[in-house]
């Protein structure tokens, strides 16, 4: 074949050498971009060609991003043309900064058994889909570990977040150290460390985290090593102490001891919560209610059912009495323990200054609920007059004197809480709920217990609380329909589970329609 000038044309030859392809799966704040830059700098320091791209997926997992790197050794002085996107079946290494990101990489086909080394941290950062459900929508992490054993050529998985925190560094350094230990790149450990040193910032903690992860990766045999950290923590109750060191609190402990021993842990947890929420007198009111319900429980054969009615009451009455109002939120945000937790979780070093910014959007209902009942009703009666002030949210810098004192002043309103409109309404709702449950104890003990357990639906603050309370009222409204049925308690559980399936209550509507046909 000749060109237009008649000169013989040399056939184009394409190289069959393929690049090393690396995908980094990370969320905002985990240093995925830094890790991708380190990998590129590493390759270039060894004379290789490398490029990185990123594909953000904000709507998928609150800032989840895929960083993609391709690298090739030099070839006759010519720069290669590298791909901008990872392709299914072509990725050599996947680095996942969180366990479910590893799962996402497998779902996308980036992990294959003939090619891919999967490097993943086994800690969990819950996704939006997991957190938005009213119930427990936590994905089962064991499924990801099991899938990795099949989908990947080899897997290195352990808790890198814990190592990063232990060394006051970021998980990106641990992932880089594990990549070095994996042997998937033809570079020496010293070359990896040189890249971290060249960064000039946070070098010492990054090198410590790198080294710790490198050693851990060499000792980790595979996916099975991740299993111990995947177990969900169980619930632990503090034992009832002999004394609290204060006469008013010791009286509460003495009252708890009047109940059967199996009920002590839950009652003690409720008392502690309510003393913290309000005061010892308020916790005494809680024990008054529990005592009255326990007598009813005893009279209706509760001993044969391990006092399930009293146990449910002990748990959910405490929850109902310690509702989240403006006073409670302000109290929690101004506590020294909260600030200490912020410092700890962000690995703040000595001498570093930290400011916290809160996003707050109180509705007119929350503000009116904090007022004495007559004044609160007056505010709600004229929403057009006062509602304009609460249309937009505010960013409150609680680390400044002005806003901290504002929040601290709201927290100091605790002594007048019992006079507020919100408290009046919460107590009225609680009494109505208990009336429904106690009315069924003699008729259908198990349905009465499930009526108490339905209180699980009410949680959160503002709109979340309103939605939960609406679902709760609809479930409780079905009690008269189910009390006469032998399987009434099973249906109550189904209603509660249906209410927890989705935010809008679509599944609950379907379950209620089914009950109407029984």
DSSP 87-150: -TT--SEEEESSHHHHHHHHHTT---TTTPEEEEE------HHHHHSSS-----HHHHHHHHHH
Number of domains the chain contains: 3
pLDDT at 226: 46
Which pLDDT score is estimated for 271?
97
Rounded alpha-carbon distances, angstroms, from residue 371 to 328, 396, 435: 14, 21, 27
Q: Is residue 298 part of a domain?
A: no
> What is the full DSSP assignment across 368-398?
HHHSBHHHHHHHHH-HHHHGGGGSS-EEEET
Q: Is residue 177 a contact partner of residue 217, using CB atoms and an 8 Å limit? A: yes
On whether both 373 and 453 belong to a single domain, the answer is: no
Residue 376 lies in a domain: yes
Q: What is the pLDDT of residue 331?
A: 93
Of the three residues 194, 214, 230, the one that is the final residue of a domain is 230
Q: Name the residue range of residue 343's domain.
A: 326-419
* Tens digit of pLDDT at every position of the chain (518 positions): 445 555 555 454 455 578 899 999 887 767 788 999 999 999 999 988 888 888 776 544 455 788 999 998 887 767 777 888 888 888 999 999 888 888 888 988 899 999 999 999 988 877 766 776 777 777 777 778 778 888 889 999 999 998 998 888 889 999 999 999 999 999 999 999 999 998 877 789 999 999 999 999 988 555 444 444 445 556 678 889 999 889 999 999 999 999 999 999 999 999 999 999 999 999 999 999 999 999 999 999 999 999 999 999 999 999 999 999 999 999 999 998 988 888 877 777 777 888 888 888 778 888 888 999 999 898 888 887 777 767 777 788 888 888 889 999 999 999 999 999 999 999 999 999 999 999 999 999 999 999 999 999 998 777 788 888 999 999 999 998 898 889 999 999 999 999 888 888 888 889 888 888 87
The predicted pLDDT at position 227 comes to 45
Q: How far apart (Å, rounded) are the C-alpha atoms in residues 100 and 124? A: 7
The closest of 101, 138, 143, 139 to 118, measured between CA atoms, is 101
Whether 180 and 194 map to the same domain: the answer is yes
- Flag whether 11 is in a domain: no
Q: Are residues 467 and 405 in the same domain?
A: no
Domain boundary among 402, 419, 436: 419
pLDDT of residue 262: 94
Q: How many residues does the chain have?
A: 518
User: Could you tell me if 16 and 22 are in contact, meaning their C-beta atoms sit under 8 angstroms apart?
Assistant: no
Are 185 and 143 within one domain? yes
Does 390 share its domain with 493? no
β pairing state of 64-72 and 20-26: antiparallel
Look at residue 100 in the predicted model and tell me its pLDDT: 85
Decide which of 212, 230, 248 is a domain's last residue: 230
* Residue 77, pLDDT score: 63
- The pLDDT value recorded for residue 229 is 45
The confidence score (pLDDT) of residue 504 equals 82
Residue 254 lies in a domain: no
Q: What is the CATH number of the domain that holds 180?
A: 3.40.920.10
411 shares its domain with 508: no
Domain contains 463: yes
C-alpha span between 472 and 464 (Å, rounded): 12
Is 235 within the bounds of a domain?
A: no
The three-state secondary structure class of 269 is: helix
Spatial contact of 64 and 25, defined as CB atoms under 8 Å apart: yes
Q: What is residue 116's predicted lDDT score, i.e. its pLDDT? A: 92
Helices (H), 278-325: 280-299, 308-321
Query: What three-state secondary structure class fits 70?
Result: strand
pTM: 0.72
Q: What pLDDT, on a 0 to 100 scale, did the predictor assign at position 233?
A: 53
| Dist. CA 400–CA 395, nearest whole Å | 12
Report pLDDT for 225: 45
Reference 434, options 456, 455, 464, 457; nearest CA is 455
358 and 333 in contact (C-beta within 8 Å)? yes
**484: helix, strand or coil:** coil
Same domain, 34 and 156: yes
In a domain, 331, yes or no: yes
225 found inside a domain: yes
Q: What is the CA radius of gyration of the chain?
A: 30
Beta bridge partners of 449: none
Report the b/e string of 84-96 with b at 16+ CB within 10 A. eebeeebbbbbbb
Q: Are residues 177 and 57 in the same domain?
A: yes
Residue with tokens 């060499």: 218
**388 and 482 co-located in one domain:** no
Tokens coding 191: 């070359």
Considering the domain architecture, whether residues 429 and 362 belong to the same structural domain is answered as: no
- Interhelix angle 421-438/463-476, rounded to 10 degrees, is 20
Same domain, 401 and 460: no
128 and 177 part of one domain: yes
Cα distances (angstroms) measured from residue 430 to each of 239, 323, 333: 28, 11, 27
């Amino acid at each position: 074949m000749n060109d237009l000038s008649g000169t013989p044309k040399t056939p184009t030859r394409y190289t069959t050498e393929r690049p090393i392809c690396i995908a980094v799966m990370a969320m905002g704040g985990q240093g995925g971009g830094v890790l991708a830059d380190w990998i590129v700098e590493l390759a270039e320091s060894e004379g290789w060609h490398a490029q990185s791209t990123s594909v953000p997926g904000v709507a998928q997992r609150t800032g989840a991003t895929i960083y993609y790197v391709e690298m090739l050794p030099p070839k006759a002085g010519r720069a290669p043309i590298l791909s901008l996107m990872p392709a299914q079946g072509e990725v050599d290494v996947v680095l996942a900064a969180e366990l479910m990101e590893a799962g996402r990489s497998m779902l996308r086909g980036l992990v294959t058994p003939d090619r891919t080394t999967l490097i993943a941290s086994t800690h969990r950062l819950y996704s939006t889909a997991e957190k938005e459900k009213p119930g427990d929508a936590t994905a089962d992490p064991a499924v990801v570990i099991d899938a990795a054993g099949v989908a990947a050529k080899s897997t290195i998985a352990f808790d890198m977040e814990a190592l990063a925190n232990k060394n006051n560094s970021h998980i990106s350094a641990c992932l880089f150290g594990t990549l070095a230990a994996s042997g998937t790149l033809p570079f020496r450990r010293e070359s990896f460390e040189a890249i971290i040193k060249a960064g000039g910032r946070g070098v010492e903690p990054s090198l410590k985290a790198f080294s710790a992860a490198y050693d851990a990766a060499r000792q980790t045999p595979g996916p099975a090593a991740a299993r111990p950290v995947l177990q969900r923590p169980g619930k632990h109750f503090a034992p009832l102490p002999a004394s609290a060191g204060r006469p008013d609190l010791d009286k509460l402990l003495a009252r708890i001891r009047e109940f059967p021993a199996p009920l002590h842990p839950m009652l003690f947890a409720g008392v502690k919560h309510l003393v913290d929420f309000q005061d010892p007198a308020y916790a005494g009111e809680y024990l008054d209610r529990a005592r009255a319900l326990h007598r009813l429980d005893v009279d209706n054969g509760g001993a044969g059912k391990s006092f399930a009615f009293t146990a449910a009451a002990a748990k959910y009455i405490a929850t109902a009495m310690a509702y989240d109002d403006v006073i409670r939120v302000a109290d929690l945000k101004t506590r020294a323990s909260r600030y200490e937790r912020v410092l700890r979780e962000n690995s703040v070093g000595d001498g570093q200054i930290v400011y916290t910014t809160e996003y707050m959007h109180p509705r007119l209902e929350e503000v009116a609920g904090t007022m004495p009942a007559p004044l609160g009703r007056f505010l709600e009666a004229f929403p057009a007059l006062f509602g304009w002030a609460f249309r937009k949210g505010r960013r409150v810098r609680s680390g400044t004197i002005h806003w901290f004192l504002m929040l601290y002043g709201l927290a100091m309103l605790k002594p007048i809480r019992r006079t507020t409109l919100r408290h009046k309404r919460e107590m009225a709702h609680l009494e109505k709920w208990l009336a429904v449950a106690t009315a069924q104890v003699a008729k259908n003990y198990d349905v009465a217990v499930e009526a108490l357990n339905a209180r699980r639906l009410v949680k959160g603050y503002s709109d979340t609380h309103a939605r939960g309370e609406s679902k709760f009222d609809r479930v409780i409204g079905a009690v008269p329909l189910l009390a006469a049925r032998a399987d009434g308690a099973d249906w109550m559980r189904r209603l509660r589970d249906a209410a927890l399936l989705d935010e809008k209550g679509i599944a609950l509507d379907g379950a209620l329609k089914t009950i109407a046909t029984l």
